[in-house]
């Protein structure tokens, strides 16, 4: 539970920018959709370079201090403040000035998030050697993750509507701080990392990244996870637009979020049972197909009643729970298998690359939505809901349905090919 608490903080940061930042830029600050796409994308592209560096730093901390906790503390202390700055653009700023402000604040916040997230993901391989216990551990983590997504996905839009973006950011920042610093404090009693189990890998950063990429199981798992991060981020990024322009109610975004996440919380024990019974890979593929089916059927939203739309979003939520739990349970197995095969523990390097991929996925997803909206003629505004051409309404619908479905479909062949060394075909 102490470990899983950190996912409440990571959920808040992963969810709210994907849900509200693009909408904040286009509908509150008047930033054009194409420019807004760059603002949400560039900080995450920076993380592609920065995250593997944090991975090396995490491994060095584990070797020198026998703990990764100092980085948890640093990230958990700085991220809440930087998160508030993302939504605190001075009133009256020109759209270009506002875009630059958000770009700088988001880049710094993404860096602070990386400092926490990389060692956090590396720790399960050191908490337990049991693959079964890792599945249980990840089911707890994803349960807390789903709770954090529900809390912030529903609460952040409601708080924004009641008190504005700055107050919303302060509230979410508090959740981030409690989750991350609470995890740092709770993990003080975990066993120390054995001093001889985390040798700093030979070679420079480029060589280490190359070695991680050459590990076939890791490459396939990462590819599937990134594609699905793109899919879920696109759905989250399009949710506010979907609520406003398809459902006709801006405030329905929190209801959509609840419909997505509540089923995920309910079915988490079922996915854990399936993982123990049928195996993680089979469970991962099944969850992906469930999400894919829900996303495809949502294409009919314009002719469906609201209750049916929410039910289909709930179906996506059932799949989403497994799509989060299984790859996170499979990652430490992959890291451990690499350590057995090479004699080197490269958890920090692997999780740095993993988090970079996840980060890019969660950034590119909303950017794809914004680019799709720009291509279909979406009209930005400053504080009011602008009338949209029919092409833009179609773009909103496609960004919430077809785009996520296509990305998840592309991940299925990678899941099917995933095998650990020595595992039968």
Question: Within 10 A of 158 (CB to CB), how many other CB atoms are there?
Answer: 14
pLDDT greater than 50 at residue 201: no
CA dihedral of residues 368, 369, 373, 374 (deg, nearest 10): -30
Q: Say what the pLDDT of residue 199 is.
A: 46
Residue percentage of the chain with pLDDT more than 90: 31
Asked which of 49-63, 69-83, 235-249 is least confident by mean pLDDT, the reply is 49-63
What confidence category does residue 209 fall into, taking pLDDT thresholds of 50, 70 and 90? Answer: low
pLDDT tens-digit readout, 138-167: 778 877 887 888 788 888 888 998 999 999
pLDDT tens-digit readout, 370-407: 888 888 888 777 666 667 888 888 898 999 999 999 99
Q: How far apart, in whole angstroms, are the C-alpha atoms of residue 51 and residue 36?
A: 23
Residue 5 half-sphere exposure toward CB, CA atoms < 13 A: 17
Are 236 and 15 contacting, i.e. CB atoms less than 8 angstroms apart? yes
CA distances to 223, 242, 289, 423 from 407, in Å: 11, 19, 12, 27
Q: Say what the pLDDT of residue 409 is.
A: 96
Q: Which residue has the higher pLDDT, 71 or 132?
A: 71
Highest mean pLDDT among 50-54, 159-163, 258-262: 159-163
Residue range 101-116: mean pLDDT, rounded: 93
**Radius of gyration for the alpha carbons in the chain, expressed in angstroms and rounded:** 20
What residues have CB less than 8 Å from 281, skipping those under 6 apart? 326, 330, 415, 418
Q: How far apart, in whole angstroms, are the C-alpha atoms of residue 293 and residue 277?
A: 23
Residue 60 half-sphere exposure toward CB, CA atoms < 13 A: 8
Sign for the CA dihedral angle at 329, 332, 411, 420 comes to negative
Q: How far apart, in whole angstroms, are the C-alpha atoms of residue 71 and residue 37?
A: 30
Q: How far apart, in whole angstroms, are the C-alpha atoms of residue 300 and residue 14?
A: 28
CATH class for the region spanning 2-189+203-417: mainly alpha
pLDDT tens-digit readout, 266-305: 888 888 888 888 888 999 999 999 999 999 999 999 889 9
What confidence category does residue 198 fall into, taking pLDDT thresholds of 50, 70 and 90? Answer: very low
Where b means 16+ CB within 10 Å and e means fewer, 17-37 reads bbbbbbbbbbbbbbbbbebbb
Residue 296: name the closest of 413, 407, 378, 394 by CA: 407
What confidence category does residue 421 fall into, taking pLDDT thresholds of 50, 70 and 90? Answer: low
Question: Within 10 A of 303 (CB to CB), how many other CB atoms are there?
Answer: 7
Residue range 341-355: mean pLDDT, rounded: 69
Q: How far apart, in whole angstroms, are the C-alpha atoms of residue 412 and residue 341?
A: 27
Q: What is the average pLDDT value for the chain, to the nearest integer?
A: 83
What residues have CB less than 8 Å from 92, skipping those under 6 apart? none
**293: its two tokens:** 């089916």
pLDDT greater than 70 at residue 122: yes
Residue range 117-121: mean pLDDT, rounded: 84
Highest mean pLDDT among 95-109, 124-138, 245-259: 95-109
Q: Say what the pLDDT of residue 78 is.
A: 95
pLDDT greater than 60 at residue 11: yes
Sign for the CA dihedral angle at 281, 134, 322, 83 comes to negative
Residue range 53-80: mean pLDDT, rounded: 80
Chain centroid offset of residue 411 CA: 16
Q: Say what the pLDDT of residue 361 is.
A: 79
Q: Say what the pLDDT of residue 206 is.
A: 64
Q: Say what the pLDDT of residue 424 is.
A: 45
Q: Say what the pLDDT of residue 66 is.
A: 65
For the purposes of burial, counting CB atoms within 10 Å of the CB of 196, is it exposed (0-12), middle (13-18) or buried (19 or more)? exposed
pTM over 0.85: no
Question: Within 10 A of 2 (CB to CB), how many other CB atoms are there?
Answer: 15
Are 186 and 123 contacting, i.e. CB atoms less than 8 angstroms apart? no
To 10 degrees, what angle do helices 216-245 and 306-342 make?
Answer: 160
* Domain residue ranges of the chain, discontinuous segments joined by +: 2-189+203-417
pLDDT greater than 70 at residue 227: yes
What residues have CB less than 8 Å from 404, skipping those under 6 apart? 231, 232, 234, 235, 291, 295
What confidence category does residue 200 fall into, taking pLDDT thresholds of 50, 70 and 90? Answer: very low
Strands (E), 374-424: none
């Amino acid at each position: 539970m102490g470990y899983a608490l950190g996912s409440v903080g990571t959920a808040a940061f992963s969810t709210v920018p994907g849900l509200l930042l693009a909408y904040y830029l286009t509908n509150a600050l008047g930033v054009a959709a194409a420019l807004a796409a760059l603002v949400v994308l560039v900080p995450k592209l920076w993380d592609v370079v920065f995250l593997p560096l944090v991975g090396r730093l995490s491994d060095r901390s584990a070797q020198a201090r026998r703990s990764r906790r100092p980085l948890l503390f640093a990230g958990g202390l700085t991220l809440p403040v930087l998160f508030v700055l993302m939504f605190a653009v001075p009133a009256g700023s020109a759209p270009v000035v506002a875009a630059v402000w958000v770009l700088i604040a988001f880049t710094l916040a993404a860096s602070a998030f990386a400092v926490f997230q990389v060692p956090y993901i590396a720790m399960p391989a050191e908490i337990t050697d049991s693959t079964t216990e890792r599945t249980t551990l990840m089911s707890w983590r994803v349960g807390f993750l789903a709770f954090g997504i529900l809390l912030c996905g529903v609460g952040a839009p409601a708080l924004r509507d009641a008190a504005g973006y700055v107050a919303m950011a302060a509230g979410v920042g508090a959740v981030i701080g409690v989750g991350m610093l609470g995890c740092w404090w709770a993990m003080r009693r975990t066993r120390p990392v054995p001093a001889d189990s985390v040798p700093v890998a030979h070679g420079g950063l480029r060589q280490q990244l190359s070695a991680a990429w050459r590990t076939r199981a890791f490459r396939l798992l990462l590819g599937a996870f990134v594609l699905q991060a793109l899919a879920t981020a696109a759905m989250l990024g399009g949710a506010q637009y979907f609520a406003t322009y398809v459902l006709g109610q801006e405030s329905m975004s929190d209801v959509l979020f609840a419909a997505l996440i509540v089923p995920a919380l309910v079915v988490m024990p079922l996915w854990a049972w399936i993982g123990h019974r049928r195996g993680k890979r089979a469970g991962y593929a099944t969850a992906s197909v469930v999400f894919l089916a829900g996303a495809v059927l949502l294409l009919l939203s314009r002719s469906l009643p609201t209750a049916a739309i929410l039910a289909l979003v709930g179906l996506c939520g059932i799949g989403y729970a497994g799509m989060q739990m299984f790859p996170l349970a499979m990652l430490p197995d992959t890291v451990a298998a690499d350590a057995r095969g090479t004699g080197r523990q490269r958890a920090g390097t692997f999780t740095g690359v993993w988090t970079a991929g996840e980060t890019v996925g969660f950034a590119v997803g909303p950017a794809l939505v914004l680019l799709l909206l720009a291509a279909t003629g979406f009209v930005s505004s400053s504080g009011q809901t602008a009338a949209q051409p029919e092409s833009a309404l179609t773009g909103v619908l496609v960004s919430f349905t077809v785009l996520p479905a296509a990305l998840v479909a592309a991940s299925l062949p990678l899941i099917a090919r995933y095998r650990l060394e020595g595992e039968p075909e």
